[in-house]
Chain A
Amino acid sequence: MAEPTVPAIFDVYRYDPAIDREPRYQRYTLDLAPHTPVLSALLRIRAEIDPSLTLRYSCRSAICGSCAMQINSKSRLACETHIGPEMERHGRIVVEPMRNQAVLRDLVVDQASFWRQYSLVEPHLKLDPAHPMPEGEPTSMTPEEVERFKETPRCIACAACYSACPAVEADAGFPGPMALAKLYRFVVDPRDHARQDRLVRIQPNGLWLCLRCHLCTEACPKDVRPSERIRDLKEMAIAVQGATENGSRHAVGFKDNIEDRGLLNEMRLVRQTYGTLGMLGQVGQGLRIVRKKPEIMRRPHAIEGVDELQKIYEALDPEEPK
């Protein structure tokens, strides 16, 4: 029985740097069943209409992680994104290569930076040389230890998160969500001996550039939830190293700031993050703002019941002897 079809309009990004001066969008219109994956449609376009269309794919089953691209601006696997909902929402399907990576041709990007960031977190077990794994014997983990990995072992390295990340877009030094989620996976591995070193090394120009915008968590086809694991890494990093970076000083400073009066003291926080000397660099911008918003200079009032809040801190955030 023939399935009902809908007209599907594709505007596909085309660019061959060897020939084209600039990218263009090529329109293809096909009649397709609503549940047709975008990847199947692209392969049909290539087979029946335009053999020059270049894309990367392999398994067609959301396992290999090869076909990530932008579909109506969202970073997604083409093999598991159906055309029906996209047509309903947008009236057309704009297909573009992933962001944050240079285009090699059409929908294929150069993934060198993505893989370089991945290798920089050293995604392999580092064992304690004094306690090598017993040869020929299985090692075991408790269910609690396995639980700590959360969803991170499910990552298929498709780079959809890397494509969606505004911190990667703005700062080439940022490792990106996938590399950090992978780092988390080794930090919580009970067999790994380099936990502390990993948490110290990832902080400068790394961990604290995460914006916690959660765009990676939306993009991830495997629900790895990189943004939430990056949060976990931040708390663990403060636990092993204290507040030594702008980012950790700001997080810890903010926490301590609230304990005082219950509301944020904006000026005090700037001092906590930058130090009194470092504040000098902020004076110009501060004066611009103060003219319109004089309140930033004053201490906020204390909330009623601030003692209650302080008792919560005593119970859940005790001063640690350093």
Chain B
Amino acid sequence: MRLAYYPGCVAQESGKELDIATRYVAKTLGIELVEFPTFSCCGSGFVDEANEVLNVAINARNLAIAERAGLDLLTICSTCQGMLSLAILRMQDPAVRSRVEGALRPLGIDYRGSVKVKHLLRVLTEDIGLDAIRARVRRPLGGLKVGAFYGCHLLRPADELGWEDGEEPHAFEDLLAAVGATPVYYRGRVMCCGFPIQFVKGETASRIAGRQILDAKAHGADAMATPCPLCHISLDAYQNQAAKAVERPLDLPVFHLPQIVGLAFGASPEELGLPRHLVPTDAALAKIGAARP
């Protein structure tokens, strides 16, 4: 399987461990990641707030790059997935399309709308399939209780994204079960991580993150796992702030999706960039026999 690899900004910078873990999982499963140094940022929802048509055009350019190469796009971020998917949809509006084409055509960029955008979660559960994933498991996760945390833009608006249920998804839990973890069902799994307003009102953002982490803990989670590096920033890098905001200790490790799969495939914590996390993952690793001696 060959896919145009769209890592997004964060996985190339502060969330580098997500990129590292994605490459490990792709290699194990024989997914060829074709890289394009021309891909730009997806706008992360913020450019959409400032200028919707510009945001569509930026992403139509990204889509056209993959389309020209005859490849579907692989995203590893819920927000990138949402923004690229919405660009496909918005381009079906003739008024938007004509403005975007007016900007792209003079540059020789022709977006036809034949490219698909798929998040790693969907590629693993639908294209690779859970049976093939199970066959690769070398270190079953031994019933580690993991709370999936989806990230809003992977799910909603569900009628526009047209994949999972917007409030009751199951793909991530299915994947967790396939690698031997015990999925934890809690309301917070489909809620917001607070990230979009971290820079608007940090305390409110942290309270939102804290509530979801507390919810996962209250349902017995040993760890959380997310397919979105922006959620990971809120839940891991800012977990100390979240704890302050909800006035409770949290100390819950948060994995990126391919890290949890990579652990089950037998990777070492270092091969998945786990030492880069702000919240130590040691306690969860010990439970699955992956801790360093």
A interface residues, Cβ below 8 angstroms from B: 72-74, 89, 166-167, 169-171, 205, 208-209, 211-215, 217-218, 225, 227-228, 231-232, 234-235, 238, 245-248, 250-252, 254-255, 258, 262-264, 266, 269-270, 273-274, 285, 288-289, 292-293, 295-296, 298, 300, 303-306, 308-309, 311-313, 315-317
In the bound complex, CA of A186 to CA of B113 (Å): 35
CB of A170 within 8 A of CB of B156, answer no
Measured in the bound complex, the distance between the Cα atoms of B193 and A318 in whole Å is 33
The 10 closest A-B pairs by CB, nearest first: A214-B156, A254-B46, A315-B103, A213-B192, A264-B9, A262-B40, A251-B49, A213-B152, A251-B50, A247-B200
Q: Are B199 and A308 in contact (CB under 8 A)?
A: no
Complex contacts, A305 vs chain B, CB 8 Å: 38
Interface centre among B49, B204, B208, B238 (most CB of A within 10 A): B49
* Nearest CB of chain B from residue A165's CB, rounded to whole Å: 9
- Per-residue interface assignment for chain B, residues 206 to 242, with 1 indicating a CB less than 8 Å from any chain A CB and 0 otherwise: 0110010000000000000000000000000110110
Chain A residue with the shortest CB-CB distance to B155: A214
> A211: which of B40, B107, B190, B196 is its contact (CB, 8 Å)?
B196
- Assess A289 versus B14: contact at CB under 8 Å? Given A213-B191, A313-B54: yes
Instruction: Type the 1/0 row for B30-50, where 1 means its CB is closer than 8 Å to any CB of A.
Output: 000000011111011111111
Known pairs A235-B50, A308-B61; A289 contacts B237 (CB<8 A) = yes
- Shortest Cβ distance from A100 into chain B, in angstroms? 12
- Chain A residues whose C-beta falls within 8 Å of the C-beta of B40 in the assembled complex: 258, 262-263, 303, 306, 309
Bound-state CA distance A168–B259 (Å) is 33
- Residue among A215, A246, A252, A312 facing the most chain B CB atoms (10 A cut-off): A312
Cβ contact within 8 Å between A227 and B157: yes
Indicate if B292 sits at the interface (CB-CB under 8 A): no
Interface core residue of A209, A266, A317 (most chain B CB under 10 Å)? A317
Which residues in A have their C-beta under 8 angstroms from that of B261?
none
Q: Interface 1/0s, chain B 143-154, versus A by CB < 8 A? A: 000000000100
Bound CA span A274–B99, Å: 33
- The residue among B9, B15, B43 with the most chain A CB atoms within 10 A of its own CB is B9
A269 to B14, CA, bound (A): 14
Whether A303 pairs with B39 at a CB distance below 8 angstroms is yes
Within the assembled complex, what's the spacing in Å between the Cα atoms of A166 and B10? 24
Cβ of B58 within 8 Å of any chain A Cβ, yes or no, is: yes
Q: Does B277 contact A (CB under 8 A)?
A: yes
> Once the chains bind, are A316 and B99 in contact (CB under 8 Å)?
yes
Given A209-B204, A218-B156, answer yes or no on A312-B14 (Cβ-Cβ < 8 Å): no
Q: Which residues of B contact A316 (CB under 8 A)?
A: 51, 53-54, 57, 99-100, 103
Do residues A303 and B38 form an inter-chain contact, with CB atoms below 8 A? yes
Nearest CB in chain B: distance from A147 CB, A = 11
Residues of B within 8 A of A72 (CB): 168
Number of B residues with CB within 8 Å of any CB on chain A: 64
User: How far apart are B124's CB and chain A's nearest CB, in angstroms?
Assistant: 23
**Chain B residues whose C-beta falls within 8 Å of the C-beta of A235 in the assembled complex:** 49-52
Assembly CA distance A269 to B43 (angstroms): 13
Per a CB cutoff under 8 Å, which of B54, B190, B192, B276 touches A293?
Answer: B276
Would you call B208 and A170 a contact (CB within 8 A)? Answer: yes
22 A-B pairs with C-beta separation under 8 A: A166-B191, A167-B208, A171-B204, A211-B208, A212-B49, A214-B157, A214-B166, A215-B167, A218-B166, A231-B48, A251-B47, A254-B44, A254-B46, A255-B46, A285-B238, A285-B240, A289-B237, A296-B14, A303-B40, A315-B103, A316-B53, A317-B54
Q: Which residues of A contact B278 (CB under 8 A)?
A: 288-289, 292
Within 8 Å by CB of B41, from A73, A167, A262, lies A262
Report whether B43 and A258 are in contact in the complex, using a CB–CB cutoff of 8 Å: yes
Q: Which residue in chain B gives the minimum CB-CB distance to A166?
A: B192
Q: Is the CB of B204 within 8 A of A170?
A: yes
Known: A166-B208, A293-B14, A316-B99. A212 touches B152 (CB 8 A): yes
Say whether B16 contacts A208, CB under 8 Å: no
List chain B residues, Cβ under 8 A from A258: 40-41, 43, 47, 58
Residue of A nearest to B238 (CB): A285
Q: Which residue of B has the minimal Cβ distance to A238?
A: B50
Residues of B within 8 A of A270 (CB): 199
Asked if A231 contacts B52 (CB within 8 A), the reply is: yes
- Return A238 CB to nearest CB of chain B, in Å: 6
> By the criterion CB–CB under 8 Å, are B204 and A293 in contact?
no
Partner of A234, one of B9, B49, B275: B49
B46 and A251 contacting across the interface, CB-CB below 8 Å: yes
Closest A residue to B207 by CB, please name it.
A170
Known interface pairs A211-B192, A315-B106; 6 further A-B residue pairs with C-beta atoms within 8 A, sorted by A's residue number: A214-B157, A215-B190, A225-B157, A258-B43, A269-B199, A285-B241
Cβ-defined contact, B200 with A308, below 8 A: no
